[in-house]
């Protein structure tokens, strides 16, 4: 695989992310919000993830601005990146399908919100965030640059660590013992381990 093909795969992943998410984003606008967690950290983490996963790498691909931090691309990196990218998109799609009308881009409880515990949610409480970690790892394989390749990991790290505690607190407040027992039998992002 060439460096150009790897960059193309990264870009195709970004487009696929947008296409998968769009219908959920549209539907969410029509469902009433009954509780929300809008702390400062919650307001900052989403743009941080967006900057790391799309703005920095796209800007680099368009302008070569971080060229000083390039390293040598090897074909195996591209193939690993492709494999991880496919896993990311599959899990991203599956978690949206499973959450359905309960999905929100920020921390919100919707009218008639149901605790989802099946599909990927049977094994981990945050499969969508697992998919974001995969996305960031794929980016690191696909873009051979210390800044543009690794900015995704920094962005997802900020989103994940800045949000997951507050999200679980909100879920616990809304679903009480049902969530506590669900949390006791699942991992956060890696089944059984973490």
Among 77, 99, 136, 147, binds ligand SAH (CB under 6 A): 99
Task: Give backbone dihedrals phi and psi of 73, rounded to 5 degrees, phi first.
Answer: -85, 140
Residues 18, 7: Cα–Cα separation, whole Å: 17
Interface with ligand SAH includes 73 (CB under 6 A)?
no
Q: Is 114 helix (H, G, I), strand (E, B) or coil?
A: coil
Q: Which two tokens stand for residue 181?
A: 């027992």
Q: Nearest distance from residue 72's CB to ligand SAH, in Å?
A: 35
Give the residue with the Cβ less far from ligand SAH, 14 or 107: 107
Residues in contact with ligand SAH, counted by CB under 6 A, come to a total of 17
Neighbouring C-beta atoms of residue 132, cutoff 10 Å: 24
Pick the closest to residue 16 from 84, 86, 80 (CA basis).
86
Which residues neighbour 15 within 8 Å (Cβ) at sequence distance 6 or greater?
Answer: none
Cβ 55 to ligand SAH, closest distance in Å?
A: 21
Mark the segment that binds ligand SAH (CB under 6 A) among 11-19, 47-55, 97-105, 134-142.
97-105
- For residues 100 to 129, the per-residue mask of contacts with ligand SAH, x marking binding by CB under 6 A and - elsewhere, is --xxx--xxx-----xx----x----xxxx
Residues that bind ligand SAH (CB under 6 A): 95, 99, 102-104, 107-109, 115-116, 121, 126-129, 167, 171
């Amino acid at each position: 695989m060439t460096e150009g093909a790897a960059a193309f795969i990264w870009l195709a992943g970004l487009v696929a992310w947008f296409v998968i998410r769009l219908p959920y984003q549209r539907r969410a606008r029509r469902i009433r919000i009954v509780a929300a967690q809008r702390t400062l950290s919650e307001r900052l983490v989403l743009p941080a993830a967006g900057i790391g996963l799309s703005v920095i790498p796209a800007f680099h691909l368009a302008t070569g601005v971080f060229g000083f931090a390039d390293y040598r691309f090897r074909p195996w990196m591209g193939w690993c990146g492709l494999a991880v990218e496919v896993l990311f998109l599959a899990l991203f799609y599956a978690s949206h399908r499973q959450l359905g009308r309960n999905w929100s881009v920020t921390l919100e409880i919707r009218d008639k919100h149901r605790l989802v515990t099946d599909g990927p949610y049977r094994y981990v409480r945050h499969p969508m965030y697992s998919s974001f970690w995969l996305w960031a790892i794929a980016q690191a394989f696909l873009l051979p640059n210390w800044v543009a390749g690794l900015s995704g990991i920094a962005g997802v790290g900020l989103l994940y660590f800045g949000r997951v505690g507050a999200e679980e607190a909100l879920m616990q407040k809304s679903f009480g013992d049902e969530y506590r027992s669900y949390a006791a039998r699942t991992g956060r992002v890696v089944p059984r381990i973490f």
